[in-house]
Amino acid sequence: MGLRLLIAGGVAAGASCAARARRLSEEAEIVVFERTDYPSFSNCGMPYHLGGVIAERQKITGGNVKMLRERFRIDVRTGVEVTRIDRGAKRIEVRDVRTGRFSWEAYDALVLAPGAKPIRLPVPGIDLPGVHTLRHVADMDAIAAHLARGPRRAVVVGGGFIGLEMVENLARRGLAVALVEKLPQVMPPLDPEMLVRVHGHLRAKGIALHLGDGLAAIERQGNGLRVVTGSGQSIEGDLVLLSAGVRPDIELAQSAGLEIGPRGGIRVDDQMRTSDPHIWAAGDAVEVRDIVTGEPALLALAGPANRQGRLAAEAIFGQPSRFRGVQGTSVVGVFDLTVAMTGASERRLRAAGIPCKAAHLHTADHAGYYPGAQAMHLKLIFDPNRGTVLGAQAVGGRGVDKRIDVIAMAMQMGATVHDLAEAELAYAPQYGAAKDPVNMAGMVGVAHLRGESPLLGWDEIEEADVILDVRTPAEVEGGRVPGSVNIPLDALRERLGELPRGQRIAVHCAAGVRSHAATRLLRLRGFDAHNLTGGFRSYEDAEEAGRVAARVRRT
Amino acid sequence: MGLRLLIAGGVAAGASCAARARRLSEEAEIVVFERTDYPSFSNCGMPYHLGGVIAERQKITGGNVKMLRERFRIDVRTGVEVTRIDRGAKRIEVRDVRTGRFSWEAYDALVLAPGAKPIRLPVPGIDLPGVHTLRHVADMDAIAAHLARGPRRAVVVGGGFIGLEMVENLARRGLAVALVEKLPQVMPPLDPEMLVRVHGHLRAKGIALHLGDGLAAIERQGNGLRVVTGSGQSIEGDLVLLSAGVRPDIELAQSAGLEIGPRGGIRVDDQMRTSDPHIWAAGDAVEVRDIVTGEPALLALAGPANRQGRLAAEAIFGQPSRFRGVQGTSVVGVFDLTVAMTGASERRLRAAGIPCKAAHLHTADHAGYYPGAQAMHLKLIFDPNRGTVLGAQAVGGRGVDKRIDVIAMAMQMGATVHDLAEAELAYAPQYGAAKDPVNMAGMVGVAHLRGESPLLGWDEIEEADVILDVRTPAEVEGGRVPGSVNIPLDALRERLGELPRGQRIAVHCAAGVRSHAATRLLRLRGFDAHNLTGGFRSYEDAEEAGRVAARVRRT
């Protein structure tokens, strides 16, 4: 007889753990306890089912329970909640949700995969009918039922992944949608200047954006609701969705005296073992190591949860596998835009005191001479000394997810900007460019590292004595940086006498290509020139995001 | 005064070299000699211009000559051919193509970027009017002029990149197209079983495929032409395109006594220096190192050519950069399919005596529960001892280029199947899967490496004593492997008694997922089970490609 493995929680991490465990042992008795009726449901599809994109509810709820039961002989018990862990006796107390009856189950190994809970902001009115969160199938069903009653206006509180996906899908259902976010930007893991285009796109799609304004209260208003913000604004809606993030569900672990980490997740080692040698934990409830900052991190994403579940099973059956940590690779669709990232943001690196430099590119998914190229805005963050890639963010259309995945893979392997510059990627004109955006970003980083074309951010411009705009006069007429001097690149060689020697010259063009050429030219002629990252486009982004130095602020 | 740098050839490698050189030196005199009128033209776009996708000719021919001249002060001389190198005197003889006049130009550094020439098969009729190749703008113009005369049938000889792109674009222009390829498959760098679906797709688009049949002669036939094949077939066409590959243009280098490598390209070191210390070479004419096999290789692709050009400039100006070699990452669109690869094929590895194992996946670009998923067939080739990734090939729709680029980046960094299995890639249901195809391929490799689920190819099946089909009876009715035994996976535990102990059991299902579960189950129960890669779908591919062992051949 094999060991008795109990798994508390049957969604991503729990189900993956169970399936992997069976592949490692035919003898083990494997029991999964899932408090809802839907183990292994397709969490990430719920917003799209509500929007009508995924028509059949069964595609969300179907899961692979039958397979787990029949093929893998896993005892999946739904509607059963784990209520207590008796670590000394190695047993858990479980409660049948329907009958309310308690019983005990003995284990040799226990895996906790309780997931995370939506953060319920402590404001008045949070429990009013018509106020929803979206985490479980029951939440989805409640929203679907509400939508069936024909609400006309929705207010989404929180602009993270779920918030943005629900904004899109509620709009798809024909509702007028307002989005309230207490930060000045949606998608908090990204740096602010990268979201400027996303905000514009949301507004262009008719979404009423209330940024930098938190939820203060929800009140009844006629037959509907009214969301009151911290600034005192009042936004009417028939349906309110709270998507203010999630926090690890650690009640069970905490009451059993298991160690909790500094970020509030269950503490585990790199084999997913908790502070109790017979208990493992996996998924959204655990705290993991961020491979970029080295700091403990919480990350509620399906991919890492699945991997952690598998790893816990491997550890239990004596395999030496280790969890390498997380880098936060993620993607979200926002109407016609794709927003993706991997690694750390510049903001987080600065907060952690890690030196970093950023390159901004305004490019396209494929060769400009082939029709249908879609704009892509790419930010690459790297170690200014060793060139190690620390993070990347991209906003655009087609091909955004590809570049982030390529850079994510590179980061995993410890790549530097040199490696990105040299990457041999697939090129045909409809798929990319002979110099792919990934190559270009790497080359900008290499030019910085070698001192060929040192980068300056728009928030670092106080350090410059002169701001040199090398665009054409026609371009300058359309908008310029306050205090800048204009000498078009093609006239630069002839007009070098107009520039001061021994002073720091910050050079910009429209997007960073001509400014690189100008920076090279000036440095070869003995000027202390620096390349302003991302050019005027990045200036405008940074200005709107409040990230330009005071001297160049237009307003 | 700086050095005098002469560059023979002004397309990808030559133009990149010139631009990079100027960024490294303001003083250098840089002269580019280009025998045609179109330096820096967009080579890869020509088939799409001919097909009408890229409407304006100028997008192909425009290049960046004005920019090279005015911005980078590069002396670009078009219509000038380099005819001789006088290495002793460090000078070259050039000929003005229009006047026929010769003159000498002295150099401090010389870069050869002559490119490659289309292979002109030595068969009768090759010079008949109406027989084209496509390499230069003049070729494109000739084909465009021919197309303007309204030909109705075209014969394309050679099914590589250009051949396939021309097949598609000629069909787009309404021509009836036949494709003649002397190998039994199109796209020779890929393994044969990966092309079966491409052949089917071409046929479905109305292309007449003549595979495994070479060109014997071209003859006049009425107002048109007739292509006669080695097997004696006669294929009528008004227009014939020869796209039988290219060979390095080494005449100049050879006559100057520069070393030529074993593959017939100019031999260079990893700084692109030829056997003469004052002469560098870059682009399609040079021989480079294949980073997978370690062998010398020829690779006529734009990305590596650009990188080599830049590197030659860096070497000339004393930078320590090194060319890391090539891995052959490439992609081609074939109507609605994308075909891409990186690294070595199984065939090439076997020929080089390098141990390898292949995993075949039949999957999709994104989560099955989100609508619109497109089929993807992925082959991952790895070192069966250390797990190092050696190559990957993919055929499908959306997302094929992404997976190949991710694996290309991984290979560049020396990744193993473990790294692919653990890769943290961007997931939302419209972009990928919580277990991305890249992860899945890695996991199949890891399961092989650990001996958990050893892979067997369909050409290795002679080694098996029993072929076990674990699909359902309904699936088996649609087609089966000769000599196989059927026990559906879900009945396997109950029917273990029917299987022999101590014999090698090769297990397959439809695509490789259930067979992995069955292999695990059997191995845990003490059977010597092996997982037949890619399941019945791969069996059918391998059979059509003539790559299954004799005992399971159906015909």
Query: In three state form, how does the secondary structure of A371-399 look?
Result: CCCCEEEEEEEECCCCCEEEEEEEEECCC
Q: Is the pLDDT reported for residue A535 higher than 80?
A: yes
Q: In 3D, which of A251, A285, A257 has the Cα closest to residue A111?
A: A285
Residue carrying structure tokens 């969604």 = A11
Chain A nearest-CA distance from B104, in A, is: 30
For residue B64, the model assigns a pLDDT of 78
Contacts of A22 (CB under 8 A, 6+ apart): A28, A30, A72, A73, A74, B520
Contacts of B332 (CB under 8 A, 6+ apart): A428, B161, B164, B165, B187, B338, B339, B340
Geometric angle at alpha carbon B267, from B261 and B268, rounded to 5°: 155
Taking contacts as CB-CB distances below 8 angstroms, the residues of chain B near A417 are none
Q: In 3D, which of A359, A534, A536, A355 has the Cα closest to residue A441?
A: A359
Q: In 3D, which of A277, A224, A237 has the Cα closest to residue A154?
A: A237
Taking contacts as CB-CB distances below 8 angstroms, the residues of chain B near A415 are 409, 413
Facing A490 at nearest CB: one of B71, B302, B428: B71
A304 touches chain B (CB under 8 A): yes
Question: Distance (Å, rounded) from C-alpha B214 to C-alpha B369?
Answer: 45
Q: What is the pLDDT confidence band of residue A62, given thresholds at 50, 70 and 90?
A: confident
Contacts of A318 (CB under 8 A, 6+ apart): none
B2 touches chain A (CB under 8 A): no
B60 touches chain A (CB under 8 A): yes
B64 touches chain A (CB under 8 A): no
Chain A nearest-CA distance from B250, in A, is: 24
Let me know: does A271 contact A321? Beta carbons within 8 Å: yes
A60 touches chain B (CB under 8 A): yes
Interface contact flag, B59 A369, Cβ < 8 Å? yes
**DSSP letter at A70?**
I
Q: Is the pLDDT reported for residue A395 higher than 90?
A: yes
B276 touches chain A (CB under 8 A): no
Let me know: does A14 contact A111? Beta carbons within 8 Å: yes
Q: What is the mean pLDDT of residues A532-539?
A: 97
Q: What is the maximal distance between C-alpha atoms in chain A?
A: 88
Q: Is the pTM of this model over 0.90?
A: yes
Q: In 3D, which of B75, B67, B48, B72 has the Cα closest to residue B59?
A: B48
Facing B427 at nearest CB: one of A48, A331, A489: A331
A144 touches chain B (CB under 8 A): no
Facing A329 at nearest CB: one of B62, B410, B426: B426
Kind of pairing, strands B389-396 and B375-382? Answer: antiparallel
- Sheet with B286-289: list strands edge to edge: B266-267, B286-289, B296-297
Let me know: does A372 contact B48? Beta carbons within 8 Å: no
For residue B524, the model assigns a pLDDT of 96
Q: What is the pLDDT confidence band of residue A63, given thresholds at 50, 70 and 90?
A: confident
Taking contacts as CB-CB distances below 8 angstroms, the residues of chain B near A42 are 367, 369, 429
Give which of A67, A425, A487 to mutate to test B binding, by max B Cβ within 10 Å: A425
Residue of chain A whose alpha carbon sits nearest to that of B397:
A431
Residue of chain B whose alpha carbon sits nearest to that of A19:
B517
Range with the poorest average pLDDT among A78-92, A96-110, A495-509, B54-68: B54-68
Question: Distance (Å, rounded) from C-alpha A283 to C-alpha A293?
Answer: 20
Tokens representing B317 are 């100006």
Let me know: does A126 contact A9? Beta carbons within 8 Å: no
Residue of chain A whose alpha carbon sits nearest to that of B68:
A490
Question: Distance (Å, rounded) from C-alpha A295 to C-alpha A550?
Answer: 32
Facing B410 at nearest CB: one of A302, A409, A489: A409
Q: What is the mean pLDDT of residues A498-523?
A: 96
Q: What is the mean pLDDT of residues A497-504?
A: 96
Inter-CA distances, A208 with A158, A235, A236, A288, B374, Å: 13, 10, 11, 36, 35
Let me know: does B404 contact B392? Beta carbons within 8 Å: yes
Interface contact flag, B333 A412, Cβ < 8 Å? no
ipTM over 0.95: yes
AA letter at B287: E
**DSSP letter at B87?**
T
For residue B550, the model assigns a pLDDT of 87
Let me know: does B181 contact B162? Beta carbons within 8 Å: no
Low-confidence ranges of chain B (pLDDT < 50): none
Facing B424 at nearest CB: one of A332, A408, A422: A408
What B58-62 contacts at long range (C-beta under 8 Å, 24+ apart), as own/partner pairs, is: B59/A369, B60/A369, B60/B137, B60/B140, B61/B137, B62/A369
Facing A303 at nearest CB: one of B303, B406, B425: B425
Give which of A405, A439, A507, A525 to mutate to test B binding, by max B Cβ within 10 Å: A405
For residue A332, the model assigns a pLDDT of 98
Contacts of B127 (CB under 8 A, 6+ apart): none
Residues in a beta bridge with A378: A361, A394
- For A457-552, strand residue ranges (E) read 466-469, 485-486, 504-508, 528-532
Residues in a beta bridge with B153: B176
A127 touches chain B (CB under 8 A): no
Interface contact flag, B423 A436, Cβ < 8 Å? no
- Which residues of B are known to be catalytic? 44
Let me know: does A231 contact A225? Beta carbons within 8 Å: no
Chain B (420-459) residues lying within 8 Å, Cβ to Cβ, of chain A:
422-432, 434-436, 438-439, 452
Q: What is the mean pLDDT of residues A375-380?
A: 98
SS3 B408: helix
Q: Is the pLDDT reported for residue A555 higher than 70?
A: no
Let me know: does B163 contact B171? Beta carbons within 8 Å: no
Facing A425 at nearest CB: one of B25, B54, B303: B303
- With 0-12 / 13-18 / 19 or more C-beta atoms within 10 angstroms meaning exposed / middle / buried, residue A513 is middle
B300 touches chain A (CB under 8 A): no
SS3 B503: coil
Taking contacts as CB-CB distances below 8 angstroms, the residues of chain A near B307 are 422
Q: In 3D, which of A14, A82, A105, A96 has the Cα closest to residue A251?
A: A82
For residue B176, the model assigns a pLDDT of 98
Where do the H-state alpha helices sit in A214-276? 251-255
Chain A nearest-CA distance from B109, in A, is: 20
A513 touches chain B (CB under 8 A): no
For residue B1, the model assigns a pLDDT of 58
Taking contacts as CB-CB distances below 8 angstroms, the residues of chain B near A412 are 419, 422-424
Facing B53 at nearest CB: one of A55, A371, A412: A371
Phi–psi pair at A250, nearest 5 degrees: -115, 10
Q: In 3D, which of A30, A32, A25 has the Cα closest to residue A108?
A: A30
Chain B nearest-CA distance from A476, in A, is: 19
Kind of pairing, strands B246-248 and B176-181? Answer: unpaired
Helix (H) or strand (E) holding A242: strand A239-242
Residues in a beta bridge with B404: none
For residue A31, the model assigns a pLDDT of 98
Taking contacts as CB-CB distances below 8 angstroms, the residues of chain A near B431 are 331, 333, 338, 401
Q: In 3D, which of B412, B380, B378 has the Cα closest to residue B395?
A: B378
Phi–psi pair at B66, nearest 5 degrees: -55, -45
Q: In 3D, which of A70, A100, A67, A82 has the Cα closest to residue A32?
A: A82
Facing A329 at nearest CB: one of B62, B307, B424: B424
For residue A554, the model assigns a pLDDT of 78
Question: Distance (Å, rounded) from C-alpha A434 to C-alpha A431?
Answer: 10
For residue A1, the model assigns a pLDDT of 58
Tokens representing B209 are 């495929």
B518 touches chain A (CB under 8 A): no
Phi-psi region of B399 (alpha: psi -120 to 50; beta: other; left: phi over 0): left
Interface contact flag, A48 B452, Cβ < 8 Å? no
Q: In 3D, which of A216, A155, A147 has the Cα closest to residue A180?
A: A155
- With 0-12 / 13-18 / 19 or more C-beta atoms within 10 angstroms meaning exposed / middle / buried, residue A267 is buried
Question: Distance (Å, rounded) from C-alpha A491 to C-alpha A470?
Answer: 9
- For B243-356, strand residue ranges (E) read 246-248, 266-267, 279-281, 286-289, 296-297, 330-334, 337-343
Q: What is the mean pLDDT of residues A13-35?
A: 97
Q: In 3D, which of A450, A332, A434, A432 has the Cα closest to residue A382?
A: A450
A527 touches chain B (CB under 8 A): no
- With 0-12 / 13-18 / 19 or more C-beta atoms within 10 angstroms meaning exposed / middle / buried, residue A524 is middle
CB pairs A-B closer than 8 Å: 238
Contacts of B70 (CB under 8 A, 6+ apart): A490
Interface contact flag, B428 A44, Cβ < 8 Å? yes
Residue of chain B whose alpha carbon sits nearest to that of A401:
B426
- With 0-12 / 13-18 / 19 or more C-beta atoms within 10 angstroms meaning exposed / middle / buried, residue B500 is exposed
A404 touches chain B (CB under 8 A): yes
A302 touches chain B (CB under 8 A): yes
Q: What's the pLDDT tens digit per position in A417-459? A: 999 999 999 999 999 999 999 999 999 999 999 999 999 999 9
Phi–psi pair at A393, nearest 5 degrees: -140, 145
Cα dihedral across residues A51, A54, A60, A62: positive or negative? positive
Interface contact flag, B59 A406, Cβ < 8 Å? no
Residue carrying structure tokens 């006047």 = B99
